[in-house]
Structure 1
């Protein structure tokens, strides 16, 4: 196989992945860690491996780029068998992101991101341009971050750099092994939103391992629920798994509240985002006073110099704070992006306890507001859809039972001897 075979799809294109009877046995173990797994993943698809600890999901993932060598079976990327390919060359063509980012501490952000392009012989100018492009893509200012070291970054910033490094050589396939597992819940939500946005732009083939079923629902085009030794219990869309789990094992992963979990299937961009009165920290105080007095709302959103949500200001805030913006208003503690789920938005609204949440775009710039009424209408629509589905399912069961009873009665009549 040629070294360029996996690159033939070109920029921004994913590649198909086929696993055929993939198996991993470790010496001394009576059972294989991964047993005879076969699966087809479409180009540009995000597939999530979810299952209990020790079920083999990470082992299966690492066999795709042969960080762990298979004991048996085949791996094909875009139809090309990579099972016998030089594993180092393979790994340079498959992006890989892990928990805690795995950045080299002695390298700057730019050096970490440019590592693989440098190894494959890209010229310096192309590497520099790629670093700038990727930092912007993952929402980090190149001028501010390119020269920093990992220790100078927050956990969320490190993960963004880790994703940028995995994408540096523009691989068609991106493998992600619980990449957001070590950050706080709010940062994790924002990183998930960023990944969704990136995937809409780049169309890579992503295989993602998690133990969190809610994360799987939010991110996946399809979810593979894995039992012990990576046996596939169900491999389907999130909606199909939520509404029709294959068995009790899968139902255990779905858990209670399937209707509310479906809020993870609907994005903020799918509902009405309303405009809201805004001012900036550079506006004269008198103009801010006038906006609050003349506006049709009792509240206004103060934006910082980068047009990011900063504070909610109410009538009377400036008077009580003696006209100082430093002491006026309430800080904006949480925001959501258009790629956030309705569940994320609902949690943010309930946490803030004020009936609305600001929506932001690239680099946190303000784009609008989603309110509680909009979110609750969506919840009611989902619950009503579930109620109608349940009624339809019950009706189908009753029809099936009636047909079976009718068939049994006819069979009994036919068996009675005629006089």
Structure 2
């Protein structure tokens, strides 16, 4: 049975738990033999349903702070409140069952199947077999993995990206209001990492959990965070604000060092593909007759088509010249689609994909890889131009404010000095 009456009602209704607020109050962690605490007097309010990213140099205490929230590391002093409930003194095992936790390299149990890994916490909290079975399939579908294909596999049979997806599914399986993520995408290649970040953004749009995410990558923090906490040594907060505010107005040189050069270009990580123009594009499928494909290409406004596979996923770009050389077969004709982006990808991701594609466009796909449309170079560059223009105007306004302040100070100095010698 579920642990509480509230949980019982929620599960019975089939509803999903939304996020919970988190308050850290003077949180400190000291270790014997070390004169300085690893984390010192950290206070922070995290709103329900938002994604907060901890970013800072190695050894600054960001992972220690994260682990104190679910008490994998016990705080030396201070309080942790989740939805106004003080969790510092309750059973840490019960607490962890109500908080999802995802780590680098997924942390899956190698001797258990994918289904058993995902089912672990729901079984522990007393869900029925039928409910657990349905939840496993629901979670695999949620993270874009076909339940029929992946249910019985073992972690060693999965790619790194697939393992991380299963890790996120396991963390969310018991429908916790809070999800803690400790550099979960740090061990995968850059392309897979981009796709996993997009997947997390999509999931958050659907689930509205409270996510606390640790990374050392400032670009990842910009892409994922509703707010970013830039941490110094001992998790002292240098700045806690929105990505836009940190990019445009870093509080000091330490924060500026994280922002680095090209703050305007980093803002490309704040705009999603779904916010710009996704255009239609003529498509055919691998099952269409060659003559049908030829007629569509010859009679259409484009000199190119996108061929989709049997699952409606982008497969090949076909040009008119490719069909002339096809000689009755498309097996070797066309250019394979090497990269796609999702609607939750950033303009930065889309621009990278477009720049590496000879056709100057990239296919946009849904959660199962199905084709949605394309984004082209012109659309992206128009948006880049708008960002740069907005930054130019902001810089001019800032310069004007500084000039007014300088004039005001000069006038005050002259009045104070009385103009005498």
Deviation string, structure 1 residues 257-288 (Cα, Å, up to 9, x no partner): 00000000000011011000100001111100
- Structure 1 residues 392 and 342: CA distance shift in structure 2, 3 A: same
* Deviation at residue 297 of structure 1 after TM alignment: 1.0
* Deviation at residue 298 of structure 1 after TM alignment: 1.1
Measured in 2, the distance between the counterparts of 1:356 and 1:320 equals 23
* Superposed counterparts of 1:171-190, under 5 Å: 171-190=176-195
Match of 2:354 among 342, 349, 354: 349
Partner SS for 1:362: coil
* Superposed counterparts of 1:214-363, under 5 Å: 214-363=219-368
* Superposed counterparts of 1:126-145, under 5 Å: 126-145=131-150
Match of 1:146 among 151, 154, 160: 151
What TM-score results when the alignment is normalised by the length of structure 2?
0.96
Measured in 1, the distance between the counterparts of 2:263 and 2:367 equals 31
- Structure 1 residues 77 and 208: CA distance shift in structure 2, 3 A: same
Say if 1:135 and 1:141, in contact at 8 Å, map to a contact too. yes
Deviation string, structure 1 residues 328-383 (Cα, Å, up to 9, x no partner): 10000000011000000000001123210000012000000000000001111111
Partner of 1:69: 74
Match of 2:122 among 108, 117, 126: 117
Partner SS for 1:163: helix
Say if 2:3 and 2:126, in contact at 8 Å, map to a contact too. no
RMSD: 1.6
Say if 1:3 and 1:89, in contact at 8 Å, map to a contact too. no
- Runs of 4+, deviation exceeding 3 Å: 2-10
Partner SS for 1:235: strand
- Structure 1 residues 236 and 93: CA distance shift in structure 2, 3 A: same
Unaligned residue ranges in structure 1 (runs of 5+): none
Say if 1:233 and 1:250, in contact at 8 Å, map to a contact too. yes
Partner of 1:96: 101
Partner of 1:22: 27
Unaligned residue ranges in structure 2 (runs of 5+): none
Measured in 2, the distance between the counterparts of 1:337 and 1:52 equals 30
Partner SS for 1:322: coil
Measured in 2, the distance between the counterparts of 1:339 and 1:368 equals 13
Partner of 1:163: 168
What TM-score results when the alignment is normalised by the length of structure 1?
0.97
Aligned length: 415
Partner SS for 2:416: helix
Measured in 2, the distance between the counterparts of 1:123 and 1:319 equals 60
Measured in 1, the distance between the counterparts of 2:363 and 2:162 equals 21
* Deviation at residue 323 of structure 1 after TM alignment: 2.7
Q: Which moved more, 1:312-321 or 1:126-135?
A: 312-321
Measured in 2, the distance between the counterparts of 1:246 and 1:289 equals 60
Q: Is 1:36 aligned to residue 51 of structure 2?
A: no
